[in-house]
A and B are shown apart, each in its own frame.
Chain A
Amino acid sequence: MFQNVHNVRKKQNHAMIRAEMEKQHAGQSFLLNPYVKNSIIIICMIADMATLYSIFELQMTEQQILTIIITIVIAGALNIAPVLLALCLNDKEDRSGLKKMQMAAFMGVFLILFVSTAILRWTSREELFASEAGIVISGMQNSGGGSSGAPGTGLQDMEPQNIELSNINLKPQDSSIRGVTMAQNACALILLLEPLATSAVCFGLSYEKDPDRKRRQLLRLQNVRLRQQRDEYQVQIAELEQELAECNLEEYDREQYDTMRQQIELYRQYFKIHARRRLAEKDGTANAATLLLEESKLVQAIGGMKL
């Protein structure tokens, strides 16, 4: 019975918490859901990693793993710094010098990293499409008498080891190459602004116009949970108090003892009658039949056991 009451109470409490949470989430944008918010921040970091990796791969001469680690760290810093800055701004009560220094540090880290990556991106824009525009096959270029290929030899006739790749300088007078340079500039600009956009998104998601409202909601939610726990304790206390008031353990134990004692007394009678009956049978007296009847009654009383 107690278990049922307990379960019903538990279900009621869960329903109450769910209703309270739904009520609180009803007026909020789904973007304020912490799971959605964190997922968007992670997606922004991944997008920044992909963008920045292309520059670092081009510019850095370290091992690839180091390049990947640097990319992850910088992409993380570019997105975490605005989030931390927004959290500092949310705390409107604390405007101490330390807080201001923290905010300045986050801002500084973000600006340094963003400006540096932007410069890198802008300066390396010419190499952005190098793999498509700047590669020629030397065997074809020097088909008239180069050092690597025999004179008059076509590409299909050359040995693979004799084929060389070399870059050629882009000539501004070439109209097709001029078109690629425009694309480079546009692309560089987009990729340059991409970390800024993702950082702005992260900042926007973390910054709250009214942090007090959130604080109140958190307190209400916490109170609902605390009340649920309190009610559970209340049920347990009621159960125990009832147990202490109603259950007399000594009396219960006495009943058990008396039952066992009665059973032993029944066995005592049964053993005596059984022994007498056996002896009477041996004697051949008429009393044996009476004793047999009495014995069978006792057998039933002690639970059907028969010697």
Chain B
Amino acid sequence: MGEKLNKLFKRTLKPIGLPRDCKELDCGSMLWHAASNVGIRPVTYQFPRRIYEFSKSLDEEIDTFLTSVDCDRYNENYFDPVINITCNLGITDIDRQAQAHKRACLGIREIQNVELGRLRLKKQELEEQIMKNEQEEAYVPERT
């Protein structure tokens, strides 16, 4: 059962699924997860790197444009197309992440269901053992 859980874990959570307050999926967090399957969530979305890079280079591009073009008036929407393209690509990035997150959600549910089944089975075994012990205890003759 434990092995099955680990396999599931690796298959479904390794690429994207991380527990709350967990920065990366190392061995320790995997073990922690295997022990407690409550509160597993997909990781939060990563801010697209291309937008971050663009934000750093935008001023530079504007300066280059202003120095290279010699005219009195500019089209104020001149940079809009490039901004739109960059932001749309960023949205595509998080759409890709969303696809992976959907798989992760299914995986998390599967892990939780498997774990729930395991716990119920264990509980049932223990109840049977308790019952057996009580019967045996009643069978042992009382001597005074």
| A positions within 8 Å CB-CB of B | 2, 210, 212-213, 215-216, 219-220, 222-223, 226-227, 229-230, 233-234, 236-237, 239-241, 243-244, 249-250, 252-253, 256-257, 259-261, 263-265, 267-268, 271-272, 274-276, 278-280, 282-283, 305, 307
Contact = CB atoms under 8 A, between A and B. Distances in A.
Contact of B91 (A229, A259, A264, A282): A264
B26 interface: no
A216 B133 CA distance: 9
Contacts of A307: 55-56, 58-59
A265 B86 CA distance: 11
Contact of A223 (B98, B115, B134): B134
Contacts of B142: 212
A227 B143 CA distance: 27
Given A253-B101, A257-B94, A260-B45, A2 B126 contact: no
Would you list the 3 A-B pairs with minimal beta carbon distance, nearest first?
Answer: A275-B79, A260-B45, A249-B105
Interface residues of B, number: 59
Interface in B93-126: 94, 98, 101-102, 105, 108-109, 112-113, 115-116, 119-120, 122-123, 126
B62 interface: yes
A94 B109 CA distance: 53
A276 B130 CA distance: 77
Nearest to B113: A244
Contacts of A264: 48, 51, 87, 90-91, 94
A226 B113 CA distance: 24
23 contacts: A212-B140, A212-B141, A216-B137, A220-B137, A223-B134, A226-B130, A233-B119, A234-B123, A237-B119, A237-B120, A240-B115, A243-B38, A249-B41, A252-B41, A256-B44, A256-B101, A261-B91, A272-B77, A274-B58, A279-B62, A282-B74, A283-B72, A307-B55
A305 B55 CA distance: 10
Contacts, number: 142
Interface of B: 36-39, 41-42, 44-45, 47-48, 51, 54-56, 58-59, 62, 66, 72-74, 76-80, 83-84, 86-87, 90-91, 94, 98, 101-102, 105, 108-109, 112-113, 115-116, 119-120, 122-123, 126-127, 129-130, 133-134, 136-137, 140-143
Contact of B55 (A210, A212, A271): A271
Contacts of A239: 38
A70 B50 CA distance: 83
**Among A2, A237, A243, A279, residue most surrounded by chain B Cβ atoms (within 10 Å):** A279
Contact of A263 (B36, B41, B47, B98): B47
Contacts of B62: 275, 278-279
A223 B130 contact: yes
A250 to B, nearest CB: 6
A175 B47 CA distance: 109
Contact of B76 (A213, A236, A240, A279): A279
Nearest to B73: A283
A255 to B, nearest CB: 10
A189 B119 CA distance: 65
A257 B136 contact: no
